[in-house]
Structure 1
Amino acid sequence: MVTFPGTLDDQDASRAVRNAGGEAVPLWHADHDLRGVDAVFLPGGFSYGDYLRCGAISRFAPLMEELIPAARAGLPVLGTCNGFQILCEAHLLPGALTRNEGLHYVCRDQRIRVERNATPWTSDFTEGQELLLPVKHGEGRYVADAATLTELEESGRVLFRYVGGNPNGSMNDIAGVSNEAGNVVGLMPHPEHAVEELTGAPGVDGLGFFTSILKRFANL
């Protein structure tokens, strides 16, 4: 779990990993050491106060100098909300996250549909399955040029799509995408906030992200 100044959800992400049966390893933004982790989670929040653009400063954090080449070499990386924004700013994922279409902050439980499950982070889901996950963002509108959108759709790199309403105006109702290799995944909803029944709705629909990645290493 990477913590930047302004990160809010690192402890939630750590608890999600533990609930799934894994070991959560804290990573500090100012270090140059990935500590031998098998996978990296970039959690939500307001890294560096969202100055310039969301994720724009985090992209240049010392730890990212290690993470970017590792991700390009195949290290599994998941970014949610601000983490998704950072991955786009680092050019590990295509497109960008911009101001919500309605120019208002959105905080609600949101249904998304699994469009593809053939990644290390999504294998415990079934294609067409609907998940209920929280969203909480002011800059979550996914945008990309027409050629990029076409390539994402045709290559099966749109992993999640909003259903039952689009909370931010994302193009093609896109809630999450992957890189070409499938090891880097970003989405705006927060699976780390939906991993235990104790808090009631939205339940445990987010747990599959963490069980998926742990099963990948169990099966190696």
Structure 2
Amino acid sequence: MKFGIVVFPGSNCDRDVAYVTQSLLNQPTRMVWHQETDISDLDVVVLPGGFSYGDYLRCGAIAQFSPVMGQVVEHAKQGKFVLGICNGFQVLTEMGLLPGALVRNRDLHFICDRVPVKVERTDLPWTSAYQAQEVITLPIAHGEGRYYADSDTLKALEDNGQVLFRYSTTTGETDDKGNPNGSLNNIAGICDRTGRVLGMMPHPERESDSLIGGTDGLKLFQGLLATTVSESLSPFSLAK
């Protein structure tokens, strides 16, 4: 499986992702400059964390217009995989590949911490290496990570099983005590209706090496690899 990691001016987590895919998992990986227009060789496109274009207008608002992003849309339409992490999640919502928006944290402070995250579903490639309702620990680092959507959108996300990760307490309660930024419904990560486009604010790539604290995030990449290899990229649906 070949990974491509999009590099915008201001990206700062691109090499972290490459370390996981290339060095830890031994998968072919290339850095994709944001002005490229041919990504047809890739199986998975990753939009990494960072501060694309300095977040000068709004997080992800300028990056959506980079030449490569039109190809990312086509990549998704072809049923290939897209992962947006932190700023990458913000970019995906800005361009409409995922619903909702990421707005200022509840207390208007930048948060840098390691937090409990509950895995809601394990029947998709992204989460297949986890246990049902497992509580994992992942780092977060954002000032505008509070997930927001209107009531109809929230209902559709819940009804369709598109919420894959929620902030929680260490014992799995998804209440205010386990919500670091005020995200509606404690949402930490969602997918599209196909299950192949995932956006999440926590950083799995920063929790992928036991030398720096843990491997809870590595399972996301391992599950994707194991499932897609075993199914030979056969079509699947979000239907439960």
* Residue 192 (structure 2) pairs with residue 176 (structure 1): no
Q: Whole-Å Cα distance in 1 between the matches of residues 120 and 17 of structure 2?
A: 23
Deviations 1:120-155, CA, capped at 9 Å, x for gaps: 222211220111010000000000000000110111
Counterpart secondary structure, 1:26: strand
* Residue 146 (structure 2) pairs with residue 141 (structure 1): yes
Residue aligning to 1:213: 224
* Residue 96 (structure 2) pairs with residue 85 (structure 1): no
Alignment map for 1:38-49 (pairs within 5 Å):
38-49=43-54
Question: 1:76 touches 1:120 (CA, 8 Å); kept in 2?
Answer: no
Q: Whole-Å Cα distance in 2 between the matches of residues 109 and 40 of structure 1?
A: 25
Give TM-score, length-normalised by structure 2. Answer: 0.88
**What letter matches 1:70 in structure 2?**
H
Counterpart secondary structure, 1:121: helix
Residue aligning to 2:200: 187
Deviations 1:148-197, CA, capped at 9 Å, x for gaps: 00110111101000012211100000000000000000110000001111
Residue aligning to 2:237: none
Question: 2:125 touches 2:228 (CA, 8 Å); kept in 1?
Answer: no
**What letter matches 1:212 in structure 2?**
G
Following TM superposition, by how much is the alpha carbon of 1:35 offset from its aligned partner in structure 2, in angstroms?
4.8
Give TM-score, length-normalised by structure 1. Answer: 0.96
Is there any run of 5+ residues in structure 1 with no aligned partner, and where? Answer: none
How many pairs align?
A: 218
Q: Which of structures 1 and 2 has the larger relative contact order (alpha carbons within 8 angstroms, sep 6+)?
A: 1
Q: Whole-Å Cα distance in 2 between the matches of residues 17 and 130 of structure 1?
A: 23
Alignment map for 1:3-18 (pairs within 5 Å):
3-18=7-22
Residue aligning to 2:103: 98
Q: Whole-Å Cα distance in 2 between the matches of residues 62 and 213 of structure 1?
A: 27
Q: Whole-Å Cα distance in 1 between the matches of residues 98 and 192 of structure 2?
A: 5
Which of these residues, 153, 178, 181, is aligned with residue 158 of structure 2? 153
Is there any run of 5+ residues in structure 2 with no aligned partner, and where? Answer: 170-177, 233-240
Counterpart secondary structure, 2:83: strand
Q: Whole-Å Cα distance in 2 between the matches of residues 216 and 127 of structure 1?
A: 16
**What letter matches 2:179 in structure 1?**
N
Q: Whole-Å Cα distance in 1 between the matches of residues 185 and 99 of structure 2?
A: 14
Which of these residues, 135, 146, 166, is aligned with residue 179 of structure 2? 166
Residue aligning to 1:75: 80
Question: 2:40 touches 2:75 (CA, 8 Å); kept in 1?
Answer: no
Question: 2:116 touches 2:168 (CA, 8 Å); kept in 1?
Answer: yes
**What letter matches 1:7 in structure 2?**
S
